[in-house]
Structure 1
Amino acid sequence: MDPADDVFTLLWRVLAWGSGSRLRQNGRRLAGIAADAARSEDVLRGAAELAVTGSPAEAFAVFRRAGRNELPGLGPSFFTKFLYFAGQGEPEHRCVILDRVVATALRERCGWDSLHPVGGWPASTYERYCDLLARWAQERDRAADEIEYALFTSKGHL
């Protein structure tokens, strides 16, 4: 199944996975999506398609335009999860998850200080981050999501 075929199922799965046991903010996220389901579907579909066929910056920009989030409750830390899972586990998929934990690890462990740890990142910053992880992955014969996971868990050597 192409992820853009059923974006609400994809979103539901990402919400379930990405929220953990706390489920915080999911009520707000779902209410915001339900308030304008047709527009939400268009945004989700466009982002899912570009996550597979376009650049990470293009996909990211669907969710964040003019410095604001397009869907209530879905900020960069969450919608990059959606972009990642739109890739259906393909190792060459360029969109990886970016959140404050990863941004902080990049800053503190790797000296990469162009990401502010609390977010508000523009699409161009997300693209540079994805390119960085892709480069590190290639240099280490790994997948980019393995590098992201190592940063997130602060385990292992990059």
Structure 2
Amino acid sequence: MINADAPLPEDLFAAFPGEDAVMGHEIAVNCDRWQDALSTRGLPPLQGVLAGPGITKVSRADVFELGGREITPSNAFQLLYYSLAWGLGRRAPRLHQRLNALAAHQDRAEELLVEAWQGVRSGESAQDVYGVLTTDKGKGRIPWFGPAFSTKFLYFAQGQEAPPRYLILDQVVARNLSDVWPGAPTAAWFPDTYARYCAVTGSWAEQATERLDGARKVRADEIEFVLFKRR
């Protein structure tokens, strides 16, 4: 279990990059591959920069912009596509399996994505919004979209207007939390575990802000960012 009272590790405090670095964190995406894969399966087409040709880069700020839009089924699919494309990168491993599952469960996926986004917008607890997309046993309710990707959707669904409360949790981040989370599983995190993770990262962001004597407010996603890069 995560030690919710653990102090902020010194190596993380020394590595905080600042908000601009986090928001500018960009990933290359093969637009042509995505467009072909969606079209073949009859899924809603991409909009925005990913609807263009060739290889492009998508930043966290780009995906956050989608999260600030009106909550509609169409926008929910765009937010899912962009958060998934950003998470998978240019090679996009197992993209076809993921989109096959999405096409097979399109109506149910639409309902779940909209419900989760509405929960985020309403400020519901991390455990509750995570539970919309993930079962009590940590399995994705949409096949092939497990916690590593559902937490990306929740993270970006917050938009840019407020500091993030719901954070990305994947196997790299979990593994790099081993000093405060002994024996951390690298997949299938339960909803209460995700809530504790968000609470710890939020607490560490507050501790870091205090140590900076108010020079700036440290965002919780800076914690996730440096955890992912921790060595």
TM above 0.5, yes or no, is yes
How big is the shift at 1:115? Answer: 6.5
Tell me if 1:36 matches 2:105.
yes
Alignment match of 1:83 (pick from 150, 154, 157):
154
Structure 1 residues 123 and 17: alpha-carbon distance in aligned structure 2, compared to 1, 3 A threshold: same
Tell me if 1:151 matches 2:227.
yes
Aligned to 2:69: 2
Conserved 8 A contact 1:52-1:93: no
**What are the equivalent positions in structure 2 for 1:9-158 lying under 5 Å apart?**
9-53=78-122, 54-67=124-137, 68-107=139-178, 111-113=179-181, 116-141=184-209, 142-154=218-230
Q: Distance in 2 between matches of 1:95 and 1:143?
A: 11
After the TM superposition, which parts of structure 1 deviate over 2 Å for at least 4 consecutive aligned residues? 1-5, 89-93, 114-117
Secondary structure of the equivalent of 1:65? coil
- For residues 114-135 of structure 1, the C-alpha deviation after alignment (integer angstroms, 9 at most, x for no partner) is 5623111100000000010011
Q: CA RMSD in A?
A: 1.7
Q: Distance in 1 between matches of 2:120 and 2:181?
A: 25
- Gaps of at least 5 residues in structure 2 are 1-67, 210-217
Q: Distance in 2 between matches of 1:115 and 1:2?
A: 39
Conserved 8 A contact 1:96-1:145: yes
How big is the shift at 1:91? Answer: 4.4
Structure 1 residues 97 and 115: alpha-carbon distance in aligned structure 2, compared to 1, 3 A threshold: farther
How big is the shift at 1:18? Answer: 0.6
More helix by share: 1
Quick check: which has more Rg, 1 or 2? 2
Higher RCO (CA 8 Å, separation ≥ 6 residues)? 2
TM-score by length of 1: 0.89
Letter of the aligned partner of 1:2 in structure 2? R
Conserved 8 A contact 1:51-1:59: yes
Give the total of aligned pairs.
152
- For residues 100-150 of structure 1, the C-alpha deviation after alignment (integer angstroms, 9 at most, x for no partner) is 11111110xxx2125623111100000000010011001112100001000
TM-score by length of 2: 0.62
Q: Distance in 2 between matches of 1:26 and 1:112?
A: 33
Secondary structure of the equivalent of 2:83? helix
State the percentage of identical aligned residues: 36
Letter of the aligned partner of 2:186 in structure 1? V
- Gaps of at least 5 residues in structure 1 are none
How big is the shift at 1:56? Answer: 1.1
Q: Distance in 2 between matches of 1:125 and 1:15?
A: 22
Q: Distance in 2 between matches of 1:25 and 1:73?
A: 9
Conserved 8 A contact 1:25-1:73: no
Conserved 8 A contact 2:151-2:167: yes
